[in-house]
Amino acid sequence: MTLPPPGTAPMRVLIVDDSAFMRASLRHIVGNTPGFVVAGEATDGLTGVDAIRSLRPDIVTLDIDMPGLDGIGVLKRVRASAAGPPVFIMVSAFTTQGASLTVTALSCGAIDFVPKASEHFKTDLAQVGELLRSKLAIAAAILTGRDRPPMRPAAQIPAAISQPAAPAQSLPPARRSSAAGAPDVVVIASSTGGPQTLPQVLGPACPFKAPIVIAQHIPPVFSRSLADSLAATLGVAVVEAEDGRELSPNTVYLLPGGRNGELVRVRAGVFALRLLDEGTAVYRPNADILFRSAALSARRPVGLILTGMGTDGTEGARALSQRGCPVLVQDPASAVIWGMPRSAIDAGLATEVLDAPGLGQRLAAMVEKSG
């Protein structure tokens, strides 16, 4: 786990939860994580808003379901009024209703979430502790901005797929793509910050004349809620992918949480997804697996790599690159977490590097140029 740099002041964490048991548990976890201290506690949403404004914490762990003002209400109030608000980590119930509210919270600006329960225990403190420490490390990286590359200069969308955007300082040159014609499938890698970023990418591109398949790192239960949220925001069909079902144009498919998926060719121009339970991939749904299968099955696939920690998507992008297919990458400076985009760029696999709306505009331009 990456901790705040040595010699820096500890990150101050505010705990907002109406359960005395959970507040005590979170206090113990945070207090025993090097580089972090508990700045205070709040027992409900309204008290939490006041505490955020008075204590000015670096990080807030925020419960979803609270009396008076819930976690969503807290996010909306703080985001609307505060300059430089803290980083929010949701701590939510592992239920269908809790999943829906958590996805809403992620769309409202929370960076990530920690489920209170697991498949074995109603309240799994071992899991909460392990996950919360990893999320605190992500929050610390966001707040300190370590190794964050500079924003690329603004550039117009290129007129052709093979014309890369202007390179940015400290980023290697974009490679050229030899693909021509409209994409027959789009595959997307997304992780931390994805629920905020995906609407920005898909909004300018949808409805899209080919299936779009997303590998968003997310646990079971939450993926269906994310699909429903995206559908409501975008006004297009967004569904959780089903094993073996043919993919349709103008539809966005989200791989089920915790499961990997491979694209398979059914017949010319028609694809389906084969869902996989086995394998040792650390990140699930795994973008490398999805990208490699697209490189094997599709004629004109396009890959997108968005925000996230780690390197998922890079090896899959290599398979697309070897076929001369476009790999569009989110500008690391615009990503909530820059690890995944930066990995693909450093490997020399990006054909273009753009902010989230620019990626969507580029996808739309690919279709328009093809006629």
Q: Is residue 175 part of a domain?
A: no
Which residue range forms the structural domain that includes residue 212? 185-370
Average pLDDT, stretch 353-364? Answer: 96
Residues 216 and 273 in one domain: yes
Query: Would you say residue 3 lies in a domain?
Result: no
62 shares a domain with 127: yes
Catalytic residue among 18, 25, 58, 217: 217
User: Considering 111, 144, 177, which residue would you say is the last residue of a domain?
Assistant: 144
Is there a domain that residue 270 lies in?
A: yes
**How many independent structural domains does the chain possess?**
2
User: Rg of the chain's alpha carbons, rounded to an integer?
Assistant: 21
Candidates 312, 321, 331, 343; catalytic one:
312
In terms of Cα–Cα distance, which of 175, 137, 171 is closest to 59? 137
Q: How far is CA 364 from CA 2, 234, 260, in A?
A: 38, 15, 27
Tokens of 33: 């994580």
Q: Are residues 197 and 344 in the same domain?
A: yes
The helix-helix angle for 314-322 and 339-346 (nearest 10°) equals: 40
Residue 176 lies in a domain: no
Q: For residues 133 and 222, state if they share a domain.
A: no
Question: Residue 165: inside a domain, yes or no?
Answer: no
**pLDDT tier at 277, thresholds 50, 70, 90:** confident
Known catalytic membership, residue 191: yes
- The pLDDT of 177-201, averaged and rounded, is 89
Q: Specify whether 190 is catalytic.
A: no
In the 8-state DSSP scheme, what is residue 333? G
The DSSP bridge partners found for residue 11 are: 36
Domain presence at residue 54: yes
Q: Is residue 58 annotated as a catalytic residue, yes or no? A: no
Please list, residue by residue across 111-135, b when 16 or more beta carbons sit within 10 angstroms of its beta carbon and e when fewer do: bbbbbbbbeeeeebbebbbebbbeb
pLDDT in tens, 210-266: 999 999 998 888 899 999 999 999 999 999 999 999 999 999 999 999 899 999 999
pLDDT digits (tens, 9 = 90+) for 119-162: 545 667 888 899 999 999 999 988 886 545 554 443 333 333 33
Residue 190 domain flag:
yes
Q: Is 139 in the same domain as 47?
A: yes
The answer to whether residues 308 and 361 belong to one domain is yes
Residue 21 lies in a domain: yes
CATH of the domain at 239: 3.40.50.180
CATH code of the domain covering residue 109: 3.40.50.2300
pLDDT (tens digit, 9 = 90+) per residue, 11-60?
999 999 999 999 999 999 999 999 999 999 999 999 999 999 999 999 99
Considering the domain architecture, whether residues 40 and 189 belong to the same structural domain is answered as: no
Residues 112 and 208 in one domain: no
Indicate which residue of 25, 92, 191, 223 is catalytic.
Answer: 191
- pTM here is 0.84
Q: Given this model, what pLDDT does residue 92 score?
A: 81
- Whether 225 and 311 map to the same domain: the answer is yes
Q: Which residue has the higher pLDDT, 316 or 157?
A: 316
pLDDT tens per residue across span 57-112: 999 999 998 989 999 999 999 986 656 679 999 988 765 667 888 899 998 889 99
Share of the chain above pLDDT 90, in %: 66
Whether residues 114 and 248 fall in one domain: no
* 192 plus 136 within the same structural domain: no
Whether 203 and 349 map to the same domain: the answer is yes
